[in-house]
Amino acid sequence: MRIVFLGDVFGKTGRQALSRELPQIRRQYKPDAIIVNGENAAHGMGITTNIAKEFFALGVDVITTGNHIWDQREIIPYLEKEERVLRPINFPEGAPGNGVIDYRLQNGQTIRVVNVMARLFMDALDDPFAAMNAVLKDNPLRTKNAHAVVVDVHGEATSEKMVMGMMLDGRVSFVVGTHTHIPTADTRILEKGTAYQTDAGMCGDYNSVIGVTYETAAPRFIKKYANPRMAPQDGGVGTVCGTFVETDDKTGLAVKAEPIRLGPELIETRK
């Protein structure tokens, strides 16, 4: 299976970059599945119903999110009926929506996508490691119900995401981190066959502070106060970042893992 995962889409610039680069991604990587983290797609804060539908119209198969999932309140009833939009699986019982989907692709295979949120420097959610063990117990890799398993670990600390990757090595196809908006240079296949990248990066304007303007981000660090309110860096061309993974159909494990960077602001991986 050929899988493309694209990191946090940030604001209007990120949405436009995604729309612009998806045709190139299809030509270059010929993906069977496209997964996108969309938790910052609505002006940098959450995702709306219309934006989710826009992503699906572009050919996105599954949308993952993170700690900003509730920022646009209108998404809550949509989560209850649209299983392809995930929220972290380790929110407390009773939270709207779901954190895992078994999605049947056009090629007849099924991909299991799991969205989980880390806890260090994040909200105090339920144990993400226990949550993942429970999910894999119910539906392990290499069964007819899961030809490939992709895990989006939404978290701040690289160490916590790396522990998750190593714990799941050999048990899933791909573990990828989101949330920090900077692509890490550790795209690789772990010892037991699981593809891994600590953070996929952002789809947005990299001439910014992780997606927001310098003018609204800098006072938090230089002057230690939070005014003015942070605003997305919109108006630029934007860069799309993520990861391409190819799996062995017999084992479900990774045979190839490559970073994706398409756009003017970072060194590209365009072929």
| pLDDT tens track for 43-92 | 999 999 999 999 999 999 999 999 999 999 999 999 999 999 999 999 99
Domain harbouring 95, CATH code: 3.60.21.10
In a domain, 270, yes or no: no
Q: Is the pLDDT of residue 140 over 80?
A: no
User: What local confidence, expressed as pLDDT, does residue 76 receive?
Assistant: 96
Q: Which stretch, 49-58, 103-112, 138-147, has highest mean pLDDT?
A: 49-58
| Domain boundaries, position 29 | 2-262
% of the chain at pLDDT higher than 70: 98
Kindly report the pTM of this predicted structure. Answer: 0.96
CA 108 to chain CA centroid, Å, is 23
Q: Are 113 and 62 in contact (CB under 8 A)?
A: yes
Active site members: 68
d(CA 236, CA 174): 31
Q: How confident is the model at residue 143 (pLDDT cuts 50, 70, 90)?
A: low
Maximum alpha-carbon separation in the chain: 56
- The total of structural domains in the chain comes to 1
**For helices 158-168 and 128-138, what crossing angle results, to 10°?**
20
Look at residues 171, 74, 188 and name the one whose alpha carbon lies nearest to residue 132. Answer: 171
In a domain, 75, yes or no: yes
In a domain, 267, yes or no: no
pLDDT in tens, 207-234: 999 999 999 999 889 988 877 778 889 8
Amino acid code (one letter) for 103? Y
In a domain, 271, yes or no: no
Kind of pairing, strands 110-117 and 174-178? unpaired
